[in-house]
Amino acid sequence: MSQQQSAAPAPVTATVAERRDWWRDAVIYQVYPRSFADSNGDGMGDLEGVRSRLPYLRDLGIDAVWLSPFYASPQADAGYDVADYRAVDPMFGNLLDADALIRDAHGLGLRIIVDLVPNHSSDQYEWFKRALAEGPGSPSRDRYHFRPGKGENGELPPNDWESIFGGPAWTRVADGEWYLHLFAPEQPDFNWDHPAVGDEFRSILRFWLDMGVDGFRIDVAHGLVKAEGLPDLGGADQLKLLGNDVMPFFDQDGVHDVYRQWRHVLDEYAGERIFVAEAWTPTVERTANYVRPDELHQAFNFQYLSTEWDAAELRKVIDRTLEAMRPVGAPATWVLSNHDVTRHATRFANPPGLGTQIRTAGDRDLGLRRARAATLLMLALPGSAYVYQGEELGLPDVVDLPDEVRQDPAYFRGAGQDGFRDGCRVPIPWTREGSSYGFGGGGSWLPQPASWGELSVEAQSGVAGSTLELYRSALSVRRAQPDLGAGESVEWLRAPEGVLAFRRGEFVCVANTGGESVTTPAYGRVLLASGELTEADGEAKVPADTTVWWTTA
């Protein structure tokens, strides 16, 4: 039981409650709470800080806010190691702050989606502490994956699985047994074959639904169920295979039974609450399994996120995504950046590779130009879209953080991921000046670059052509255009090499991914463009790395 008491459920405004199938075309904004806004000057963002900035998000034009974890946690992995799923960590506030945030969001016509971390807990979670204390063979150990080791004296891990953060996926405890952790040692994996685990998480769902949240983003949604017997990979290079093959610890068919049970819980509540899956699968066809009518509502399209800024490759993944989602009746869910990957303003500066670093001002300008164009392309596609905090400001990754300030556990493990995630988590700038550019009164938990002030909300607001105003305009146009938002298909138009052109009713999108200007038909009235273009005699000259929206109406 949490020591914090929950308040009555937050009311939902009529505008929010009555909109049917809102999630099919929603634009959802990810807030990483520790890096969004700091209300008390301790250098760490918090729920009251998020609450104070809700009017900004409403005016930006988004439909819902997804909050990364704010639960009680030792913070071994930025809150993805949860010690109490029904409590707010004091660094972020308390349950009354969460309640106030939900109420204010609903009053502004915004929905709130919270993170849920069901694959693993913190090693400080009461269940795990009890499992350690009670020892081998105890019922408490069955709620996790405890195993004897291999070797003459059990000195070797039970199998050859590796942690996503590098190193073995097993840690040995004092009594000689080993426990499984696909991530950091402080994040032991639950055993979802044990009925108590399912019971607990259905209870956690109801706790937050009773608080008034509108849905859940499910962390590592593909990882809950492990293959029977926990078989070896047989020497395969696991880290190279991740996301490219079905693994014995990821994307197992049994995970879908969990989500069918969860869907029954969600459907007990009015207001169209939703689930969105963080499911890294080998193909979009496998991803579609998570969004069948009796399971989850959305699943991030990581195949799209991982695609380079290349017209032919983008068209392939767009076609394949729409084709995969059509039979299950689910919307495509597009995303370009989040808290776990290099921001696309940096990623597109010098592709390929998610770990790209900006080396020159020219690289930075190229990355931003491509990022702006990529955003308009994404927002023109059928379905829902996610925006990661700060991308509307054109923020790049911060690539020169000193080693002593880094906090990504992957960085310290020395293998696996390269620890790049800190670079996309630097607190965002609100004002041109100040010790933390308006983030808070006491600096920021990760240092911000000197260039942050000119990228701030204050510096870009009302400035024609700024990235912030481009996002505001794009979201306004998207909402106003009846042919944008939900849908199942696009009509591809003939276009020069390196150019994507498609029609959706009276709307036309042209995205030039090439390095040179191209000439296309002027399809009608220009609604929006990510860069300058010229039109004459029924033709348009579209610059390199530019997307244009037209209406033929």
DSSP annotation of 506? T
* Catalytic annotation, pick one of 126, 199, 253, 268: 268
What φ, ψ does residue 411 adopt, rounded to 5°?
-65, -40
Strand (E) or helix (H) holding 430: none
Is 18 catalytic? The answer is no
The contacts of residue 81 (CB under 8 Å, 6+ apart) are 73, 74, 75, 117, 120, 121, 122, 123, 124, 184, 186, 187
SS3 state of residue 367: helix
Hey, which residues does 502 pair with through a beta bridge? 492, 509
CB 343 within 8 A of CB 424: yes
Match 């933390």 to its residue by tokens: 436
Q: How far apart are the first and last CA of the chain?
A: 58
21: left (phi over 0), alpha (psi -120 to 50) or beta: left
CB 360 within 8 A of CB 350: no
What φ, ψ does residue 141 adopt, rounded to 5°?
-70, -25
Helices (H), 409-489: 409-413, 457-460, 467-480
Helices (H), 283-436: 284-288, 302-305, 311-325, 344-347, 361-380, 409-413
Is 268 catalytic? The answer is yes
* Catalytic annotation, pick one of 38, 46, 219, 278: 219
- Enter the tokens of residue 67: 């909050």
The one-letter amino acid at 528: L
Strands 298-299 and 274-277: parallel
What is the C-alpha to C-alpha distance for residues 297 and 474, in angstroms, rounded to an integer?
24
What is the C-alpha to C-alpha distance for residues 113 and 66, in angstroms, rounded to an integer?
4
Cα-based torsion angle of the residue sequence 337, 16, 220, 330 in order, rounded to the nearest 10 degrees: -90
CB 62 within 8 A of CB 387: yes
Q: If we measure between CA atoms, which residue out of 497, 548, 543, 491 comes closest to residue 522?
A: 548
Q: If we measure between CA atoms, which residue out of 19, 60, 8 comes closest to residue 273?
A: 19
Q: Which residues are catalytically annotated?
A: 219, 268
